[in-house]
């Protein structure tokens, strides 16, 4: 067995039960993508021609007319928005973001203004566009969007994510209907979604995916949609897209990941992941103050997660302190804790190497046993997480 490169670099060997998180390296890259990247790295290619080959693969898998690879899904948002503003006007492309065309407004629902590590509206503003936020955090009605569209509207962005508000907003079919009635293209941010076809089938003009999440490719973004709009987004490589470029290895690696997706044993993977969830649930069932529930993915991806509900009074530890305890030590286990203030976190089974599921089960039992043995409830003020969550980053690279 080869040495774990993380040990060689002095990095902690993380076990990821958080999901396809960029901050952890996103996902386990599939062997096909690794082989493709190694194959093309020593060679010279004409990038525009390689991207044409990528376009054909993207079109086949998504049902799009065309597509291309960029640096990330976030980059894809900026490029798609920029393309909707400039079209193929090369001078306008060079002038972004300081000088924008007359049509420079982009509609987005307030309940979709989320952060995936950076605010989604910042990806819009990076192109020089002006976000026009409609509705309220928990409600958007047709009249909000209908009255927001003007002769300045360049596009409308729709976000599919577990972070968005999942009630009271316009669904994609309504969003598309209203936009298309006024000739406005719809751009869908579907960074971490399994279904590569549904959003275009529902009328979206452009859909953006991460190549490095469920697809298991290198860090990359996939732009798919109508040929003219994809072309206009691709032309941004002559402007703001220059800083979002990808190398030959990322383009070819993403192509390989897409083709591997066609052949993947999705049912077999789901069965294995379900086994992990059952193991963890059995480990937690019957423990004081712990209630473990298997829940489906909120955006209807074909996967489940284990929601671990913690009653601090009985378990002798808060959900956030348990998450922190698991994340400590030489072999950290990083859980999905973005809602931990509500006394629960999730365990996501999609990014585990064989045998790591038993390590997770053991650590859960150890930390809960340790907490139960304490005379006092381990309950640090939740406000400390907010106060100190950026401390390490602000000291970087120290």
Do 174 and 308 lie in one domain? The reply is no
**Residue 104, domain extent:** 31-263
Give the pLDDT band (50/70/90) at residue 303: confident
pLDDT higher than threshold 60 for residue 35:
yes
Q: Are residues 232 and 111 in the same domain?
A: yes
Q: pLDDT for 215-252, tens place per residue?
A: 899 999 999 999 999 999 999 999 999 999 999 999 99
Please tell me whether residues 43 and 16 are part of one structural domain: no
CATH number (domain holding residue 308): 3.90.1150.180
Give CA–CA dist 80/161, Å, rounded: 18
Give one DSSP letter per residue of 161-217, joined into a string.
Answer: STTS--SSS--HHHHHHHHHHTT--EEEE-TT-S-SSHHHHTT-SEEEEESSSTT--
Give me the pLDDT at residue 3, please. 67
Do 231 and 313 share a domain, yes or no?
no
Segments in the chain forming alpha helices (H): 5-9, 31-40, 47-62, 73-86, 90-95, 120-125, 142-148, 172-181, 198-201, 227-234, 248-263, 266-284, 312-315, 319-327, 356-373, 383-388, 391-395
Question: What is the model's pLDDT at position 161?
Answer: 85
Of 263, 290, 320, which residue is a domain's last? 263
Residue 166 has pLDDT above 70, yes or no: yes
Q: Is the pLDDT of residue 80 over 80?
A: yes
pLDDT value of position 290 = 94
Question: Is the per-residue pLDDT at 1 higher than 70?
Answer: no
Q: How confident is the model at residue 2 (pLDDT cuts 50, 70, 90)?
A: low
Q: pLDDT tens across 367-391, in order?
A: 999 999 988 898 888 888 878 878 7
- Asked whether residue 123 is assigned to any structural domain, the reply reads yes
Task: State the pLDDT at residue 261.
Answer: 87
193 and 175 assigned to the same domain: yes
Is the pLDDT higher at 146 or at 192?
A: 146
Do 307 and 249 sit in the same domain of this protein?
Answer: no
Could you tell me which residues come within 8 angstroms of residue 17 by beta carbon, excluding any fewer than 6 positions away?
333, 334, 335, 336, 347, 348, 349, 351, 352, 360
Q: CA-to-CA distance for 101 and 154, rounded, in angstroms? A: 9
- Please compute the mean of the pLDDT values over residues 173-186 and round it to a whole number: 97
Instruction: Tell me which residue has tokens 């590569």.
Output: 196
Strand duo 15-17 + 66-70: pairing: unpaired
Please check whether residues 156 and 50 belong to one and the same domain: yes
- Mean pLDDT (the chain) is 92
- pLDDT (0 to 100) of residue 275: 93
Domain boundary among the residues 263, 298, 326 is at 263
Q: At a CB cut-off of 8 Å and minimum separation 6, what does 35 contact?
A: 256
In this structure, the answer to whether residues 137 and 284 fall within a common structural domain is: no
**139: CATH:** 3.40.640.10
Task: Say what the pLDDT of residue 272 is.
Answer: 92
Q: Which two tokens stand for residue 389?
A: 């969550």
Nearest to 207 by CA among 189, 230, 184, 221: 189
387: tokens are: 């106060």
Q: Which residues of 143-156 are buried (b: 16+ CB within 10 A; e: fewer)?
A: ebbeebbeeebbbb
Given this model, what pLDDT does residue 53 score?
Answer: 97
Q: Could you say which of 220, 241, 263 is where a domain stops?
A: 263
216 within 8 A of 29, measured Cβ to Cβ = yes
Do the Cβ atoms of 360 and 281 come closer than 8 Å? Answer: no
Per-residue model confidence as pLDDT tens digits over 131-141: 999 999 999 99
pTM for this entry? 0.90
User: Count of domains in the chain?
Assistant: 2
pLDDT of amino acid 359 = 94
In a domain, 398, yes or no: no
């Amino acid at each position: 067995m080869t040495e774990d490169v993380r040990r060689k670099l002095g990095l902690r060997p993380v076990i990821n039960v958080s999901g396809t998180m960029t901050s952890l390296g996103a996902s386990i890259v599939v062997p096909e993508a690794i082989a493709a990247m190694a194959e093309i790295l020593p060679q010279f290619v004409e990038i525009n021609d390689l991207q044409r080959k990528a376009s054909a693969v993207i079109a086949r898998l998504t049902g799009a007319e065309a597509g291309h690879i960029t640096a990330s899904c976030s980059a894809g948002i900026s490029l798609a928005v920029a393309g909707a503003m400039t079209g193929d006007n090369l001078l306008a492309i060079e002038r972004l973001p300081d000088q924008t065309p007359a049509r420079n407004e982009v509609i987005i629902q307030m309940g979709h203004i989320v952060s995936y590590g950076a605010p989604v509206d910042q990806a819009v503003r990076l192109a020089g566009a002006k976000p026009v936020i409609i509705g309220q955090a928990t409600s958007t009605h047709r009249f909000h969007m209908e009255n927001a569209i003007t002769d300045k509207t360049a596009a409308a962005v729709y976000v599919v994510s577990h972070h968005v508000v999942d009630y009271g907003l316009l669904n994609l079919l309504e969003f598309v209907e209203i936009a298309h009635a006024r000739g406005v293209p719809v751009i869908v941010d579907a960074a971490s979604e399994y279904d590569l076809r549904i959003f275009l089938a529902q009328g979206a003009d452009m859909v953006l995916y991460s190549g490095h999440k469920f697809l298991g490719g290198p860090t990359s973004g996939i732009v798919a949609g109508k040929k003219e709009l994809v072309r206009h987004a691709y032309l941004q490589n002559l402007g703001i897209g220059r800083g979002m470029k990808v190398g030959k290895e990322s383009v070819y690696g993403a192509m390989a990941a897409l083709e591997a997706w066609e052949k993947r044993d999705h049912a077999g993977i789901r069965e294995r992941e379900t086994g992990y969830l059952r193991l963890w649930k059995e480990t937690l069932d019957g423990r004081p103050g712990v209630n473990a529930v298997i829940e489906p993915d909120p955006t209807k991806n074909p996967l489940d997660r284990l929601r671990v509900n913690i009653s601090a009074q009985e378990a002798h530890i808060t959900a956030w302190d348990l998450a922190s305890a698991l994340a400590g030590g030489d072999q950290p286990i990083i859980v999905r804790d973005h809602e931990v203030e509500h006394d629960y976190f999730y365990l996501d089974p999609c990014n585990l190497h064989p045998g790591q599921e038993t390590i997770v089960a053991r650590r859960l039992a150890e930390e809960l046993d340790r907490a139960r043995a304490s005379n006092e409830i381990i309950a640090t003020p939740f406000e400390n997480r907010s106060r100190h969550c950026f401390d390490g980053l602000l000291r970087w690279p120290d």
